[in-house]
Structure 1
Amino acid sequence: MALAAALALFAAPAFAQETPAADPAQAGDAAQEDIVVTGFRASLATSVATKRQSNQIVESVSAEDIGKLPDNSIAEAIARLPGLTAQRLDGRAQVISVRGLSPDFAATLLNGREQVTTGDNRGVEFDQYPSELMGAVDVYKTPYAGLIGQGLSGTINLRTIRPLDHGKRVLAANVRGEIVSPGKLNAGTTDKGWRVSATYVDQFANDTLGVMIGVAHLTSPTQFERFNAWGYPTFETNNDTYGIRNTQGTPDAADDTFTPRPEYAAANGALIIGGSKPYVQSDELERTGAMATLQWRPDPALSITLDGYYSRFRDEQTLRGIEFPLYWGNAILNPGYTVTDGIITDGTWRNVKGVVRNDANLREADLYSGGLNVTYEADGWKLLGDLSYSRVDREDKVLETYAGTSRGAGNGPYDVLGFGANDDGTYTFDPTLDYANAGVIQLTSPQGWGADNTPGGQDGFLNNPRTTDELIAFRGAVQRELGPDAGKIEFGANYTRRDKTLDLSRFYLGLKANAAAPAHDASVPVPSDQLLDPTALDFLGIPGMISYDPLKLAYSGIYNFNAATDANLYAFGWSVSEKVLTGYGRYDIEAEMADGASLAGDIGVQVVRVDQSSNGLAASGSPVAVITDVSDQVTYTHLLPSMNLVARLNGGWSLRLGVARQLARPRMDQMRASINFTYDAARAGNTSINFSPWGGSGGNPRLRPWVADSVDVSVEKYFGPDSYVSLAGYYKYLETYIYQQQLLYDFSGFPVTGGPEPLLRQGVVSIFQNGQGGHLYGAEAAFALSFATLTSALDGFGMLGSLSYTESGITPDPGNPAQPLPGLSKWVASGTVYFEKSGFSARASVRHRSGFLAELSGVGTDRIQRLAQAETIVDAQIGYEFQSGALQGLGLQLQAQNLTDEPFSTYDPADERLTIDYQRYGVRYLLGASYRF
């Protein structure tokens, strides 16, 4: 049967949960005959079968065919599952939140094995893995004892094809072109891309040797307009520019008071934009992935599988815009402004000194992953062994280059800049200067920023971090079948060693011509051979700005790269090492009940022992006066019991219960030993901690993990191989959460500068620490319905969807009780309607998430958090696959992503009208063909 063969293709590998492939004749009581389906309907049937047959609460998405997940990326595919949602970064769905918790709380496995990550922490950036090379993705919402590397919110297991399980030769190829609707926003970039993939599966030696080889390459552009505000301070008239001084008759002018000048009386106390940093941004992602699997089964009792994966990842971003220091700069608001509901929404600034920015971000990463798996079965016994290795080498270049009318904020010429607020909280501007005139705009430091590092001010900045992440794991287990209806037992152990290092290099760019100038007041025209066509900033109301390739210019020899020497540079680099030994025991329940019902599940326990350590640097001063090595470590053990029970009743009903203790290890950047400290020699003689000479901030290698006790329940009703409805509820109590707190720190052994030996070696520092936890609970409703179950006239039509609600009692920032959990959207919903029959297919999908606290990149690659608006993403596609004749196996497909051009928008916590970051990506169109034989 064709569907059964398709289901068998994606059977779980060893060490993933052993979910049997479902026979559709058994998947629903209404099915009375063989039904041959392909494409999305086959994918849906596979996912429904996985959900129904699993002993845990699981959501799953399966490939429609070899090399074809239902969406363009893994993150988009699993973001449609109940209780899951994605955050868009630079226009791409990249990181996943499970049940209201940030990516830090979820674990991602590849074929059941823990993986390294390209980011600074544990959360996987899913665009590192080509969707074309994946067979299925399973999301475990409840753990079981044999699930190694499990997360606290959920465990995402990416599964690849096993060639002997597929059972026949296949050669599949896909090619797609794509175009984005904003067009080319930056000179030297493209709005067109392409994707190609090929997969070969075959069996040899009487089906005892199987081979799978897959290659996928993409070049994918993103073009978007990005408005950014510095913030929104309160307009004050307590200065000579906006107020009238009332002297108090004392020599100290600080004692004087002010009354607003009449023309500024209406502005006093209103909110006003402090500055703006808008861009047009162009990204070009290039990724080449290759995967191979060799599966050998010389005897039915013995199976040996060797697999490997390699990915080369390059993401280049070009950002061009004009940064306007306004209220927080030296600009002056002219009379004639408008105040609307407490916000100054339009007016004119004078004395504006804009910083013309040509910036670039470049990330390059190589990911290696491989493993050897051996299983042997005899006389009811099963022995399992697994060895795996993964590594990432990543380098970033985050480059800023500056230009303007002259060097220093006190020098002209200046701009007179009109401004006005739009309905979406962004602003447009009306300049008098021509920012596209290369005779007016020159390379320089318009505001004189960084003059303490570079005389006359820095002319740019380069952040150049390098990350290495390496993991090796060994696993062994033994299973024993206990007989009919008696279940089985399994005991095993896993050892993992992971080492991750972040090395920081930062440079202040200084023009060589300025360094040679006696007064350090030189500006330099952009070399004519470097100039590109001006970049239009129409969405800002600015006709254009000068443009050049910032990476090419930076390395042309025109700049000096002056190494940063501030303490922050050293305090944010780190290395973290983890040695994790996990032992477990598990009993699988299999029991028949009355009237053909059955009870299944598992009861087990994991014992996790962790030895974690970190090495780093303690630094003080700018430039750094003191550097010393620091290190620390801690060992802890946790007991993680778990139980899953599922009663499969007559009529297609299933009742599930999951109870477990779950664990997620801390973020690695929070575990760093590095610290930025201060020493005040004037306090060296004090013995009171309130007047200690020591202070600082940093990480904490002694952090303990997040630990939660959880209860999950689910009621499911199955109507057929691709139709069901379910209602689930869950409750988690986190014993602890990790906060940044003021704590005592022992500075014994730290060097002392500028004074005598202090009487006190303890001080108060701001570091991450385990603190009070709280509860998290929610409910999920999901369904999939093939309309053929209602009437045969609607065969081929169907729909599926889900709605999730999550509530949290956790306060992630004690200093700001109103701040929500990172990544938590209280409401998450998705829906898809589809038609698929006789080769024709059409599908429209929508996913929605309510507002949430997003995680973004700040200065350099540092993490910042911002409140994000709710968003609704609409995608659609149509296709046709030839069913016979010379073109049989050929499929054509047209797709559109983000059809409604939904923006990504963050805002100031004080007022949702105060937009901080607003990104509009446009629509992405893809046209492709696939062929399989």
Structure 2
Amino acid sequence: MTNVTNHGFARGLDRVRLALLAGASIAAVIGAAPAWAQDTVPAPAEAPTATPAPTEVQEEENAAIVVTGVRETIQTSIQEKRNSDSIVDAVSSKEIGELPGQSVGEVIATITGASIDRSNYGPTEVSIRGLGSGLSMTTFNGREATNGSGDRAVNFGQFPSELFNAIKIYKTQQANLIEGGVAGLIELETRKPLDYKRRQLQAEIKGNYNPYQDRIAGRSPYGYRATVSYIDQFNAGSLGDIGISIGYQRNDVSDPVERFYTSSTWFTCNAAVVSTANCTEVTRQQGNAGTPYFHASNSYAYRQMITSDLRNAVFGALQWQPSPTLDINFDVQYSRRQYSEARNDFGTAEGRYNLHNVEIGDNHELLSADGSATLQTLSGLFKRDEKYLGLGGNIEWQPTDRLALTADFGYSHTKRLDITRQVRLRTDPFDIYGVRTPINNQRIPYHVDLSQSFLPVFTYDSRFDPTDYDAFSDDARLTRSQDGRDDEIYAGRLDASYKLDGFIEHVDIGARWAQRKFFGYSNDVNIDQTDPAVDRDVNLACRTPFAERSFFSDAPSPAITSYATFDVLCQFRNYLGTEDPGNSGDLRAVENADVTEQTLAGYAMATYSGHLGNIPVRGNFGVRGVHTEVTARGLRSGLDVIDNPDGTISLRENGDFTNTEIKSSSMRWLPSLNAIFDLSDKTRVRAGIYRAMSRPAPSALGAGRQITLETGTGFTSVTDAINSIIATGSPRLKPTMSWNGDLAFEYYANKDTLIAATVYYKRFTGGRIPIEADEDFLIGGENYSVPVTQTTNSKDQSDLYGLELTLSNQFTWLPHPLDGLGAKLSYNYAWSNFETQDIRYGDVVDSASGEVTPGLIPAASLSGYSKHVFSAQVFYEIGPVSLQGIYRYRSRYYQAFTSDNTQLRYVEGNDTFDVNLRYQLTKEADIRFQALNIFNEPRVEYMPVVGSTRNVEYYGPQYFLSLRLRLR
């Protein structure tokens, strides 16, 4: 039985749990039918007219009871959807701090069709309608935002939910949106202080308990999160009205993780050849001709981590209305995250060495094997310092009753610096004292079984003890890695709106200019130490006890429980006399990305209102034109030919760089039409037809190259000595385009009840496929033409069909106290035939002949594409008590790396369950309890095919207890 099958059984149990929860919730929503029947007003026989939605002030004046808490948030979100001019889903609150989550990502995951990519420190990226984060766009107060990952997704874990009031997802495009994305546009909003209409000072202190951190000796499992916000308004007499708002949060928690991982490069090994060295690689041609093969990684390792996560965030806004016709706004957002991981790794350094007795699964995944490998322990310290600064301002001027003018400018800058220090120690025939080990060999025999579950089981020769510090005596290597990302956007826009009489209510026109600069680099310093006496002294001086008890105790199959660990800073001090030797002094490298993207866009849009027969219809139509120019700068490094004594050759990079610059441009037109049909005062149909675009990630537009040289000796030609040259970016990549159609039905029975269903269709063009093209490289003073694998746009078209469902209801018709019960269910189903090829072993196109060589690995679909996405919120409010449970599920999806994809990576489907409880002490104070990830769902990744485990992470549940004060 394969690990996929066993894991499928576990997933089956989850499906049962999901079905029970969904069934109970759906039954409860259906049970609300009496309320809908009571609240429904029969439509008159004559032509119906649209009933304007009541304003927020009217609702508050007419309401007998002031609604707060979860119910208020859902009511406000329903009203946002009802009032929108296109197909929109939202979560919104009148009050700061009421959105249901620790971060913006957790809040977005409660919106219909949205799903999150979760890691140990919370949600990082969001997919809409089963489409990856690269196919959507996120804006802060209408402005594009940067990030530190090299793509266009926003790291939502960087921003606290407490400082936002509303989050919207535009599912359909309209001309005045900033290139809304193939999947949609996520808009984060902070409320303007003058709109708030009252003073408020709010403070919250939240304590955190992390059970996984409690397993680590000498570490406190407790952390905290403190938030304070202030909103006020002032009348400055002849100067008009002034409003200010400011919020600050400090987050100091731990995020421990238990991890099993492999290398990020996998090979296809010849199953018919038993090699006493690294396995023999199979080419596409050989595999297609019938040569049996399996997928194997270069290395396997367990990781125990001790983490620290400190985040500070400040959000502020200033609003000035010197007159009723002039509104001036300025806002700023700043966030800094300082994150560290003390890493202790153990595993095989040679995952492809001497493999025999191999069992292979249906997907060519390795199920079990015997082998021998050098085992190693790695001590590391990873530190990340990421800063985000966003600021902007706009002026809204209404010179006449019909004309409104708006000018807006924005700046967004993210700077991320990662520094990793690591020391490697390996096994040897001799221990640190020069005594022969019982095995008397550098390589230790082992057996690996990958069929029990998604977590492989390693069994080592009984003569080897992983906890024996003396056994790790060889190949000491100190590595200092530095990775930097710098992403910066300047943007400005001008908009004008003119009111008309008649069918066309008003016309909007506008223009936008933006410049994005992205620079990414990597720099490694490797220092090898070969003196056995020094190795022995450092080994003895820097030993540490294994820090964590019950290591991997929650895993479904046995795992190693402890191994020899060392203090990495102690090792650096004793080996080098310093804890940080610094970078190489030259950050240039052929892999670096240096991209400038210039965008000029303009639009025209008309908003209309009229009748189609007896049915009121309104909406908008327009077109947006987007011109993009990309300039990518890169380096090319020469290679020296080294003559070996036996007459063979080897290659070595010589650091002699030459500059290269590649330019590319595109022009895209994005027409859109949105229509809203008000069938009655409670029933609405929406339709949208539009063209959308999603740009490639900035890092995918770089001009870098990754040169992999063959290891070993015996090469007789230059081409034999080059393993591969792969482009780390493709500046000529064009946006992915799609034609889209959406049709939505919405029924608003009352303020608490919504039934909505949307069907949608997308036809894609401009997908991506690997190609091989010859490039010239200077090797040994001569030019050689070498094939380089890179990504280009495919001419193939592909489709996506989808269905969204939303059910929301408060059971106010039930007898007290059951009238405090409510639920919201969201489900999205998507099907697509889009294909993403593995660059190493997928289909490849010869750029000269156009001939396609079939790959050895099946194509994946869209990055982030999950066929099923489901969320359920069930809440109960009675008096001062509020209870809420939030369940989220998404099925398996393919996820590309942040740079241009080289090998396919799949993330196993997962579900999470969070609980929120609140008790209102007084009108000004409440106590809250939150429990996150109660199921302790692991993150499981496969590469390059499903069933071939690449990564497993457990990070446990987290608990929060807070006290909040709100003064008005």
- 2:298 and 2:723 mapped to 1: Cα distance? 35
TM-superposed CA distance for 1:893, in Å, is 1.2
Query: Is 1:354 the counterpart of 2:349 in the alignment?
Result: no
TM-superposed CA distance for 1:406, in Å, is 3.8
Counterpart position of 2:195:
165
- 1:805 and 1:339 mapped to 2: Cα distance? 33
Question: 789-798 vs 767-776, which deviates more?
Answer: 789-798
1:232-631 → structure 2 map (5 Å cutoff): 276-325=300-349, 328-329=352-353, 353-377=374-398, 378-406=400-428, 412=441, 423-429=452-458, 432=462, 433-442=464-473, 444-445=474-475, 459-483=477-501, 486-511=504-529, 514=530, 517=531, 523-526=535-538, 530-536=542-548, 538-539=551-552, 541-551=559-569, 553-554=571-572, 558=576, 570-591=589-610, 598-621=616-639, 623-625=652-654, 626-631=656-661
Q: Deviations over 1:160-200 (max 9, x none)?
A: 12110001000111111112222345566553321110000
Query: Is 1:902 the counterpart of 2:929 in the alignment?
Result: no
2:92–2:167 contact (8 Å) kept in structure 1: yes
Counterpart position of 2:29:
none
1:774–1:809 contact (8 Å) kept in structure 2: yes
Would the alpha carbon gap of residues 564 and 490 (structure 1) be closer, same or farther in structure 2, given more than 3 Å must change? same
1:39–1:64 contact (8 Å) kept in structure 2: no
1:633–1:702 contact (8 Å) kept in structure 2: yes
TM-superposed CA distance for 1:401, in Å, is 2.0
2:210–2:222 contact (8 Å) kept in structure 1: yes
Query: Is 1:892 the counterpart of 2:892 in the alignment?
Result: no
Counterpart position of 1:766:
789
Would the alpha carbon gap of residues 872 and 698 (structure 1) be closer, same or farther in structure 2, given more than 3 Å must change? closer
Q: Deviations over 1:832-877 (max 9, x none)?
A: 111123221111121111111134589xx99754222221111112
- 1:240 and 1:387 mapped to 2: Cα distance? 63
TM-score scaled by length of structure 2: 0.79
Unaligned runs of 5+ in 2: 1-51, 278-291, 432-438, 553-557, 640-650, 838-842, 844-854
1:679–1:752 contact (8 Å) kept in structure 2: no
Counterpart position of 2:120:
90
2:912 corresponds, among 850, 873, 888, to 873
Q: Deviations over 1:190-222 (max 9, x none)?
A: 533211100000001267100101001112222
Q: Deviations over 1:774-813 (max 9, x none)?
A: 1122111111111115667632211011111111121111
Which residue identity does 2:259 align to in structure 1? Answer: R
Which residue identity does 1:586 align to in structure 2? Answer: M
Which residue identity does 1:403 align to in structure 2? Answer: L
**Structure 1 residue matching 2:669: 3-state secondary structure:** strand
Counterpart position of 2:743:
713
**Structure 1 residue matching 2:766: 3-state secondary structure:** strand
- 1:396 and 1:323 mapped to 2: Cα distance? 24
TM-superposed CA distance for 1:702, in Å, is 2.0
Would the alpha carbon gap of residues 557 and 381 (structure 1) be closer, same or farther in structure 2, given more than 3 Å must change? farther
1:186–1:318 contact (8 Å) kept in structure 2: no
Which residue identity does 1:533 align to in structure 2? Answer: P
Counterpart position of 2:867:
826
**Structure 2 residue matching 1:52: 3-state secondary structure:** helix
**Looking at both structures, which has the greater relative contact order when contacts are Cα pairs under 8 Å and sequence separation is at least 6?**
2
Would the alpha carbon gap of residues 239 and 592 (structure 1) be closer, same or farther in structure 2, given more than 3 Å must change? closer
1:67–1:198 contact (8 Å) kept in structure 2: no
Would the alpha carbon gap of residues 752 and 545 (structure 1) be closer, same or farther in structure 2, given more than 3 Å must change? closer
- 1:719 and 1:153 mapped to 2: Cα distance? 29
Q: Deviations over 1:602-657 (max 9, x none)?
A: 11111111121111112243632342100011222211111111112214111111
TM-superposed CA distance for 1:579, in Å, is 1.1
- 1:553 and 1:186 mapped to 2: Cα distance? 22
- 2:178 and 2:932 mapped to 1: Cα distance? 35
Counterpart position of 1:23:
55
Question: 400-409 vs 794-803, which deviates more?
Answer: 400-409
- How much is the aligned-residue C-alpha RMSD, in angstroms? 3.9
Question: 281-290 vs 152-161, which deviates more?
Answer: 281-290
- 1:490 and 1:91 mapped to 2: Cα distance? 42
1:203-242 → structure 2 map (5 Å cutoff): 203-205=233-235, 208-229=241-262
Would the alpha carbon gap of residues 233 and 765 (structure 1) be closer, same or farther in structure 2, given more than 3 Å must change? closer
- 2:705 and 2:142 mapped to 1: Cα distance? 36
Query: Is 1:930 the counterpart of 2:930 in the alignment?
Result: no
**Structure 1 residue matching 2:353: 3-state secondary structure:** coil
Would the alpha carbon gap of residues 752 and 235 (structure 1) be closer, same or farther in structure 2, given more than 3 Å must change? closer
What is the aligned residue count?
844
- 1:316 and 1:323 mapped to 2: Cα distance? 22
TM-superposed CA distance for 1:592, in Å, is 6.2
TM-superposed CA distance for 1:119, in Å, is 1.1
2:488–2:517 contact (8 Å) kept in structure 1: yes
**Structure 1 residue matching 2:414: 3-state secondary structure:** strand
Unaligned runs of 5+ in 1: 1-19, 243-267, 446-457, 687-691
Which residue identity does 2:792 align to in structure 1? Answer: Q
- 2:963 and 2:451 mapped to 1: Cα distance? 42
- 2:510 and 2:573 mapped to 1: Cα distance? 54
2:504–2:606 contact (8 Å) kept in structure 1: no
- 2:897 and 2:692 mapped to 1: Cα distance? 27
TM-superposed CA distance for 1:226, in Å, is 1.7
TM-superposed CA distance for 1:764, in Å, is 4.1
TM-score scaled by length of structure 1: 0.82
- 1:599 and 1:529 mapped to 2: Cα distance? 78
Question: 136-145 vs 696-705, which deviates more?
Answer: 696-705
- 1:774 and 1:236 mapped to 2: Cα distance? 35
Counterpart position of 1:182:
212
TM-superposed CA distance for 1:71, in Å, is 1.0
1:683–1:693 contact (8 Å) kept in structure 2: no
- 1:157 and 1:85 mapped to 2: Cα distance? 16
TM-superposed CA distance for 1:464, in Å, is 0.8
**Structure 1 residue matching 2:546: 3-state secondary structure:** strand
Counterpart position of 1:200:
230
1:22–1:50 contact (8 Å) kept in structure 2: no
Counterpart position of 1:251:
none
- 1:838 and 1:169 mapped to 2: Cα distance? 25
- Percent pairwise identity: 24
Which residue identity does 2:875 align to in structure 1? Answer: Y
- 1:364 and 1:831 mapped to 2: Cα distance? 35
- 2:901 and 2:366 mapped to 1: Cα distance? 31
**Structure 2 residue matching 1:788: 3-state secondary structure:** coil
